[in-house]
Amino acid sequence: MRNFLKPGSLLLIFLFLGVLNLSAQMEAPPFWGEWRGVSPDNRDIRIEFSSKGEYRLTIGEQKLFSPGKCWGKAKYEWGKEEDHYKVTVFGEDEPDIASHLQLSFSQEGLLKVQLFSDSGEPMSSITLQKI
């Protein structure tokens, strides 16, 4: 018993417990799932946020950030602010290039997505419904 409780063993136990605690704290964002454009002009646009921080954009039959049926390498990070969520999507092949999104829910449960430039200027927006 004395050999089992060496400082190295205790460190490994604490690291394991720390990893378990972190994984329990990570939660799926409230906007996870697959979303489709609401207006007739945007119905062929789909955005999918996985609960594990992966992102896929589909326009018509062309999947961006996702070769074939896999998720590809596009990852996102998110955080909550007062009445909206800030999302950063990293480029598939160039992780230094990122897109900045602001997401907010309407009373009807629709998701409004705004795209911002690196300088913080709004560039475009789309309203999506969950499918």
Please, how many CA atoms are within 13 Å of residue 77, restricted to the half-sphere of its CB?
Answer: 5
Dist. CA 3–CA 98, nearest whole Å: 50
Question: Distances in Å between the alpha carbon of 82 and those of 31, 35, 37, 115, 129?
Answer: 15, 23, 25, 18, 22
**What dotted CATH number matches 27-130?**
2.40.128
What confidence score (pLDDT) does residue 59 get?
Answer: 83
Side chain identity, residue 78: W
| pTM, two decimal places | 0.70
Q: For the chain, give the mean pLDDT.
A: 77
The answer, yes or no, to whether residue 30 has pLDDT greater than 80, is yes
Return the structure tokens found at 6: 């060496």
> Which range is most confident: 2-16, 39-53, 85-99?
39-53
